Amino acid sequence: MGHKHKHKHQHDHDSVGNLKVAFFLNLGFTILEIFGGIWTNSVAILSDAIHDLGDSLSLGLAWYLQGKSKQKSDSHYSFGYQRFSLLGALINGLVLIVGAGFVLSETIPRILHPEEANAKGMILFSIIGILVNGAAMLKLKKGKSLNERVVSWHLMEDVLGWVVVLIASIVMLFWDIPWLDPVLSIVILAYVLFNVIKNLRETLHLFLQGTPHEIDIALIDSKLLEIPGVQSVHHTHVWSMDGEKNVLTTHIVVLASANVSEVQSIKAATKKLIHTFPIEHATIEVEFEGEGCFMGD
């Protein structure tokens, strides 16, 4: 038992450490990008700087929440503090949308009136971008938490984005195509906004306590009805605390003549069934036929 506890403590420590390193790598490069975008006169680099600023916020919140999420429940938050991560996701999404709008306002005039970009400078920054984001991605890829895996995939997208910038800057080095930079900027922003809006929709869905997409309530009800002794099921609700930990409540009705042993058997079968679904916490209300439901129909 002691060994398992020590291993878990070490894993938590590694998770926080990995996110901390990735945060400082990303933030440092974002600051460098802003100056680099101005120096090279590249809105493509500036647009990715806005993207990386959002990534830095995400990493910073992920780093903070990795420790915060371990805080035990209290009288203020009886389910714990996992739901704070949804607030972070919402803030990050809004920051990225505002930033993308700002960059678009600078980019569209560049298409109508192209300006020369420093292709050599863009090549330099794209190589640095691939190395920095690649290092952060590899650091997090070793992690086992969902938080780390999701961020590592996000950083993988950044690496691919910088590969595109590298290819475009090499093309601009040999051919005079000044409009390629703002067009590339819009392509990057469109990709970022597509993913941001998709994530915001999911975040709002969870904020409004929508049913997690991986959960089929009708299937859960039908499986509960297959348990011997269960007469009916109602008021089944499933929601997610943070996109990972799902919570279920349901009411099952048994025969009015059911004795303690039969009810215990039904409860054991119900518990076993619930464990086959991605449910972190479940509350099962057992009612007898004719008793009536406290919550009403």
Tens-digit pLDDT profile for residues 99-129: 677 767 777 777 777 666 677 877 887 888 8
Cα(165)–Cα(157) distance, integer angstroms: 13
295, part of any domain: no
196 and 121 in a common domain: yes
Asked if 257 and 291 count as a contact pair (C-beta separation under 8 A), the reply is no
Return the CATH number at 16.
1.20.1510
Q: Last residue of a domain, which of 182, 207, 232?
A: 207
pLDDT less than 50: residues of the chain: 1-13, 146
Whether residues 201 and 251 share a domain: the answer is no
* pLDDT at residue 4, as a whole number: 43
Which pLDDT does position 205 carry in this prediction? 83
Check whether residue 195 and residue 224 sit in a common domain: no
Predicted confidence at residue 154, as pLDDT, reads 64
Q: Is residue 296 part of a domain?
A: no
Residue 297 falls inside a structural domain: no
pTM of the model: 0.63
Domain count for the chain: 2
Claim to verify: residue 91 and residue 161 sit in the same structural domain? yes
The three-state secondary structure class of 153 is helix
Domain span at residue 230 reads: 217-288
Q: Which two tokens stand for residue 185?
A: 């900027």
Sequence-ordered strand ranges (E) for the chain: 230-240, 246-254, 281-288
pLDDT of residue 3: 44
> Is residue 146 domain-shared with residue 252, that is, in the same domain?
no
The CA distances from residue 189 to 1, 43, 104, 193, 289, in Å, are 50, 11, 8, 6, 58
pLDDT in tens, 245-257: 888 989 999 998 8
Pair 193, 85 in one domain: yes
* 59-64 contacts at long range (C-beta below 8 A, 24 or more positions apart): 59/19, 59/22, 59/23, 59/26, 59/27, 59/151, 60/23, 60/27, 61/85, 61/88, 61/91, 61/92, 62/19, 62/23, 62/88, 62/147, 62/151, 63/16, 63/19, 63/20, 63/23
Q: Which of 176, 207, 238 is the last residue of a domain?
A: 207
CATH assignment at residue 249? 3.30.70.1350
